[in-house]
Chain A
Amino acid sequence: MQIKTVTDRFSKNRLAIAGLAIVTVLFIIALCAPFIAPYDYKTINVRAILMPPGKAHLLGTDDLGRDLLSRIIWGSRISLAVGFVAVGISTVIGIVLGSLAGYYGRWIDSTIMRFVDMMLCFPSFFLILTVIAFVGPSIWNIMIIIGLTSWMGVARLVRAEFLSLKEREFVLSAVTSGAKDLRIIFVHILPNALTPVFVSAVLGVAAAVLVEGALSFLGLGVQPPTPSWGNILTSGKDNIEIAWWLSVFPGLAILLTVLGYNLLGEGLRDALDPKFKS
């Protein structure tokens, strides 16, 4: 596929550009957190407890007098890290299992796909809750568990791509040239199967950010004092009648992030989908 037509189609889609802008800004904020955060995220100030948004604290303070803006800025690092590591894990597992199932077929395919069906039967959020209850909450555990419970969609996608690509003539001609399985998989099929995987990975980041937010909100995710949008919301819930800003701003942060990744992902899908080719 021509890169130019993809960028052309992408740049004509305003929502996709908006998504890209949101995601880019989030990246910059997360990378520059130590420089742009006005206060230290864990410094307690008993004289400024539950201050409403104002000049000194742009977004107000929490119940321990910590600056909310700084905590949200540092929290963006957590969401980003969780999103990318979890999606990285699930994408790798999905690609490996999907490739094996799609390329070799027969019993390997049936075994892997029945395992996928089995994994899809569990309500994954409750599965994550149960596992966290056993292994204990920490940011690394969350990343790994979200990754381990969200690879099934990728595996199905990759398998479907392999099934159609392995009958394509350029793959057959690699077979008749005497290429070995590994060469056919990695050189000929996989590079042509990655487009939908890429799109689903971007959308997967949004889903992972949401799951992390929910877990931290329940106290099973990132542990205080490390700020995460989810655990800021928890303290917001306790003070919702007197300090609306503690719930609204981290909520907006989650909303914008998820919206950004979804817009970007859908824009990419439309730009890369050959069916839209004019």
Chain B
Amino acid sequence: MNNSPLLKVVNLKKSFHVSSGMFSGSSLQLKAVNNVSFSVEEGETYGLVGESGCGKSTIARLILCLDNPDQGEIYFRGTNIFTLQGVEKKKFRRKVQIIFQDPYSSLNPRKKVGSIIGEPLLIHKIVPKNKIRDKVFELMNMVGLQEDHYGRYPHEFSSGQRQRIGIARALSLSPELIVADEPVSALDVSIQAQTINLLMDLQKQMKLTYLFISHDLSVVKYVSTKVAVMYLGKIVETASNDELYSSPLHPYTVALFSAVPVPDPSVRKERITLKGEIPSPINPPVGCVFSSRCPVADSNICFKKQPPLEEKRDGHMVACWLKN
């Protein structure tokens, strides 16, 4: 078991039905996640980047067992999480937690901070009832909240503080894997830095593994050890952080990186502007998903067949015909 990854996602597919009209019986399929595989090793931070609507959050929901996939499996420590029932499922819930994007809708507006953070402890009976308060204080201390915040309601806090409450709740069960679904994109830039540093400190202290989902390339570069780039429900490129940022292979990744602003006015770089909009996932392009916007697409193959995700260098996988 020791050499199997903490989380292994295999050929995951999830599509949603979209009704096409009031009177037509046919319904369209929106392929949110289309044949995605990756694995996350213990102790690492696996970054998942992509534009909005590319299926990142659907993957998060599937890993958290909030939805069932159409196809494919997710293994956590070697066991398929979709076959878990009853006590086993509850045990799994203890080990995997999520931090949500929106710090406003992620906290119950009618509960006090103390009971929000303490609820998972109560459900799993981790500490005796009379010790919950002490444990909550300990957690609040870890994420930088003060003890007098215990009896307040979420609306009394700023978004950064609210995100800390969410982090404390996720930590309360001492999970092994934390899925961070855009944890900082709703925050101000200065608060983003604080929150990211907090997450990284906690990772060291508690030996956490993160699946870090974001659309912000610079944030992902800062926190991740490995990165996967998603486009239209598919992973188009994955590599270690250094490798990906120093030598991106897929034309989509290259275009994305060229759009990241550099805080130095003397640097002039050539920006690759992609044509058009991201295609609708209801009707994705035939062939390579990126072919409709790719600046270098080759009409011989790119529009006809989907490229497989293949290893090009050591640990660097890319799905592009032109890199063969």
Contacts and interface: CB of A to CB of B under 8 A. Distances in A.
Interface string B35-69: 00000000000000000000000000100111000
A192 to B, nearest CB: 6
A144 B89 CA distance: 44
B93 A177 contact: yes
A174 interface: yes
Contacts of B100: 169, 172-173
A54 interface: no
A170 B108 contact: yes
A174 B107 CA distance: 10
A178 B97 CA distance: 10
Interface stretch (B23-31, B116-124, B197-205, B254-262): B116-124
Chain B: number of interface residues, binned into ranges: 20 to 34
A123 interface: no
A168 B97 CA distance: 16
A188 B120 CA distance: 13
Contact of B109 (A173, A178, A180, A192): A192
A173 B169 contact: yes
Main secondary structure of the interface of A (DSSP, over half): helix
Contact of B66 (A170, A172, A180): A172
Contacts of A183: 123
A228 B93 CA distance: 59
A176 B110 contact: no
B121 to A, nearest CB: 9
A22 B269 CA distance: 72
Nearest to B115: A187
Interface in B207-264: none
A128 to B, nearest CB: 35
User: Max chain B CB contacts within 10 Å: which of A170, A180, A183?
Assistant: A170
A180 B89 CA distance: 12
Contacts of B97: 176-177
Contacts, number: 62
A35 B12 CA distance: 75
Interface in A1-57: 1-2
Contact of A178 (B90, B105, B108, B166): B90
A176 B106 contact: no
User: Max chain B CB contacts within 10 Å: which of A1, A173, A183?
Assistant: A173
B87 to A, nearest CB: 10
Given A172-B100, A177-B173, A178-B90, A192 B123 contact: no
A169 B102 contact: yes
B96 interface: yes
Contact of B124 (A2, A174, A178, A188): A178
B119 A191 contact: no
Contacts of B166: 173
Contact of B64 (A170, A176, A191): A176
Nearest to B102: A169
B98 interface: yes
A263 B296 CA distance: 66
Contact of A192 (B108, B169, B170): B108
B155 interface: yes
Nearest to B173: A177
B196 to A, nearest CB: 20
Interface in A166-224: 168-170, 172-180, 183, 187-188, 191-192
Contacts of B155: 1-2
B316 interface: no
B94 interface: yes
A145 B303 CA distance: 67
A174 B66 contact: no
Nearest to A188: B108
A2 B153 CA distance: 10
Contact of B93 (A176, A191, A192): A176
A180 B169 CA distance: 17
Given A173-B169, A178-B93, 11 more contacts: A170-B105, A170-B107, A172-B64, A174-B108, A175-B64, A177-B120, A178-B90, A178-B124, A180-B123, A187-B111, A192-B110
22 contacts: A1-B109, A2-B155, A169-B100, A169-B101, A170-B106, A172-B61, A173-B106, A173-B166, A173-B170, A174-B108, A176-B64, A176-B65, A176-B93, A177-B93, A177-B119, A177-B173, A178-B93, A178-B94, A178-B120, A183-B123, A188-B108, A192-B108
Interface of A: 1-2, 168-170, 172-180, 183, 187-188, 191-192
